[in-house]
Amino acid sequence: MQITFRAATEADRPAVEALLQACQLPTADLPAGLPHFLLAFNNTKHLAGVAGLELYGPDALLRSVAVAPEFRRRYVGRNLFAEVLDQAVGLRVKRLYLLTTTAERYFARLGFAKIERELVPARVQASPQFAGVCPSSATAMHLEV
């Protein structure tokens, strides 16, 4: 299976929202234009996955990571993350943070480690994801880029 990646645009919003909703992830706080969001497509141009970055100086929030069920266990998520990580390096991001309620083990396999929420930089904590979109029970994780 051939997977291609490209930057998201505002025109992709309906497909991105549909995938996130299917994966039970929030959509209300998606930024206009979907800057720093990357999409994965299969060879028939079906949206296979999405992941986004929110930039906060040298820190970034990895968010909205989702893979369509029919593409799971095919390395789509791992390859999508590798592309997002390359993007983060190009943007001079030093640390990635995320919140998860269901995928802590998955992100640990990608190198993320749990972190106490109060240790996350204040500007990341002020993001909509940390400030209320994700429940307070979500696990915070980080990765040095």
Q: How far apart are CA 25 and CA 18, in angstroms?
A: 10
pLDDT for res 114: 97
Local structure of 24: helix, strand or coil: coil
Q: Within a 10 A sphere around the Cβ of 93, how many other Cβ atoms?
A: 22
Block mean pLDDT (10 aa), the chain, length 145: 91 96 92 96 88 96 94 89 95 97 93 96 94 90 97
Strands (E), the chain: 3-7, 37-42, 47-56, 59-67, 95-100, 113-114, 139-144
Q: How far apart are CA 20 and CA 94, in angstroms?
A: 26
pTM of the predicted protein model: 0.92
Domain ranges of the chain: 3-144
**Structural tokens at position 143:** 């990765």
Instruction: Output the CA–CA distances (angstroms, integers) from residue 26 to 57, 111, 134, in the order listed.
Output: 24, 24, 8
pLDDT for res 75: 86
Determine the topology of domain 3-144 in CATH.
Aminopeptidase (3.40.630)
